[in-house]
Structure 1
Amino acid sequence: MNISKQTMKRLAVILSAMLLLAATVLSVVFGLTSSEKTGMVNVDMNHNDNIIVTPETNPAMMMSVLRAGDNTENVIQPSGDTDGISITATIGPETAENKEIQWTVKWKESTGGNHSGGTIKAIDWSEGKNVTDYVVLSEETSMSGESITITCKQDFGEQIIVTATSAGTPEISASCTVDYCQKIKSLDYTFKYGGNAMTAPAVDSDGVYRVDYTGEEKSYTVECVPVYTNYTVDDEFVKNVSGQFANAFGYTSDKPFTQISLQAGLFGCVNEPALSEAAESFISDIELLAGSAGWQIGNSVLEKATTTYNGLTEAEKTHSKIINRYQAMQKFIGKCGNGELFYAAKAEAQAVISVYTASSPSGSFNGEAAIESVDALLTAAKTCNDAGTGILEYTITYTGVYSEKTFTFKLGYTASSVSAAKTMNISLPSVMF
């Protein structure tokens, strides 16, 4: 059997498209059905920003706490001082001969509790821990009125006591309590597809988390779970999410998105395949019957149209235009041999054809943007990838009494899934031999 070069080329086009489709399906099947996996976004923090130092009142030895660059004494809020906090002890009266002060630091005795990043401890949190691994003093001794600096090295879950003692009169001392405020040290997230857990994608070098375009009316959703530091003072955080389409996407939303999600395709659109030559021939015959054909040739045209329709595939028969023209054809059954009946049927068929509206390829995206076609969505997604950004950009802010932390989160489609989908957007039935 001889096969022309043109036919071979067309076969190659179809085979390539089918292979791409198979690759896309496999990536979806294996990429979206795996077990749940979380990702993590770490936060750099200076631990000195997170401590509260509260001095006690003692007439024999005054103790004050001072923020660097500030004249506010007795710090009872996180200092915001990246170099530590200054503590000053002053022995009274002024006439005291020995004004040397000795400084010590230790864990405060307590019964433990829920202070280990949310993990309940059955024993004291500090058991087996060296306090100087958590806070250090710049000096072990000072003179009355001179300051030392306390520096926090890492988060802790039990109060720390810093004590100043008079070297000349050990009975005279004063202390301050050091607390660590609960902070967010990292952010865990879980990805879901259509409500089912999936493997969290690795963030790309441009800071975008990319998932596959599948074309399904399902959404990817992301749930964020803060991971807290150890702490002695808890906090209550309120989360606020605000998202918008990236500028490169080319579409806008009238209001911000308050949930982290990305649709896997357009919602509400119908993408019908291109019609085959036989299907187009059937449509032409029915339009001829309903248009210029006279009743004398009505039977022959109807017979040809019926034969052509019966030869269409079941998939072609479900095309909205074929369904409409078939309904118009029914008006001519048994009426083509009589002029009066034929022209009455022609009017009825014309009425059927006139109300036909092609299925719209447009759809909604993330509930806000109306996009004219799948190809337009894929083109916009590719533009975002070329620009090194995501389709959606989210800002996630956690606000507490003692602190506020903001994260950015970008979502887009993988380049491979966009490329494969754009290739498959060329309908196979339109490739004719």
Structure 2
Amino acid sequence: MSVSGALRSIVADTRPLQNSHFRRLWIAQIITMIGAQLTVVAVPAQIYADTGSSAYVGLTGVFGLVPLVVFGLYGGALADHLDRRLLMVISTVGLIVSSGLFFAQSLLGSNVWVLLCLFAVQQAFFAINQPTRSAILPKLLPAHLLPAANSLSMTVFQAGAIAGPLVAGVLIPVTGYTWLYAIDTVTLFATLYAVVLLPRLPVEGAQVGTPGLKSVFEGFAYLRHQPVLLMSFVVDLIAMIFGMPRALFPEIAHVSFHGPEDGGIAFALLFAAIPAGSVIGGVFSGWISRVEAQGRVVLWCITVWGLGITGFGLTVFLAGHLTGFMLALGLLFMVIAGAGDVASAAIRSAILQTAADDSVRGRLQGVFTVVVAGGPRIADVLHGGAAALAGTAATTTGGGVLVVAGMVVCAIAVPSFVRYRVSRLSVETEGATTSA
């Protein structure tokens, strides 16, 4: 194999970008992501500046999670009833309007309750937009390109999670919050442009009428009889609930690695390490498109995540010795964990997009949105309580070990997930037929 061929097999598979619709959506995501992350940072920063209270800042968790859960599930039901292009247009316009209202309130004089309500509205539109966006990919791309497409999208998201806070940190003292909201509003028009150019995307076998709670419950009923799809959610919940120690980062940075109480370099590096690993994993994700044993590889990727978190916990145990070296080693373990996480997420998304019927795909993507948003928040509560009893090092290390043990239990309990595989030959042939 030539050097160029070897590189193509290692670095991210960019073949999905040959599809003009996906390419426009992906480029728009790059433009929009920075703006979105600016708002994510600006909202809690403005609330704290206005109130001086971390309790008010903490309310963003409630005002953000509730609409994510409610509209993530209901938005998925809408995505199984309405033309998905139309729903994408409506939800994108909603995001633009809510961002514009953030800009207006900052310009005219802010109120903490107005901010929190606007944040809830924005998260509701995001919760409708996200499952719809994921559900349309199988209509735009052949099955064998879905893992690569998911990896490309997730890499952009994680890069934005790193760059957004850094840019916001630089701009807030210079421009204030108003211009951050303005940037977010303007950049969202890139997504609207990409969405408007999509073809009509009706749902195969869509039910008539307005979806209600019955439609949501039907999605769960479908999931109950699909063990492979169900396990794709279960393994992610295990990984996040037991293995996401972000609530402990402030204490670990201050107590274990001797950073200042109000942040500092160690604090920033701890928060950036997992997204950085995800970006690196996404850049070198060419192998994902060649995976056939998708269920087994997901279990191995989450095991890598668990081992990475376990290694990080051990460096916290040893942080009193060679503190700088242990911090660097701990960051390396979390980078490895992040790389395992992005690979798992890309393959699990592909399983969900290909193994589910089109008539329920939106609802299952809604469940996926809720799981991704809810797992880390549950982890924040559990890790915080456990650390108060056992300490940060034991909690982090034990959580990583439980993730690894959980993957073993899942493999034994649901062998159909371990055996789940796709034939590259069949999906590529199907993809060629679809593209033609």
Normalised by the shorter chain, which TM-score bucket? under 0.3
Q: Give the structure with the higher percent strand.
A: 1
TM normalised by structure 2 equals: 0.16
TM normalised by structure 1 equals: 0.17
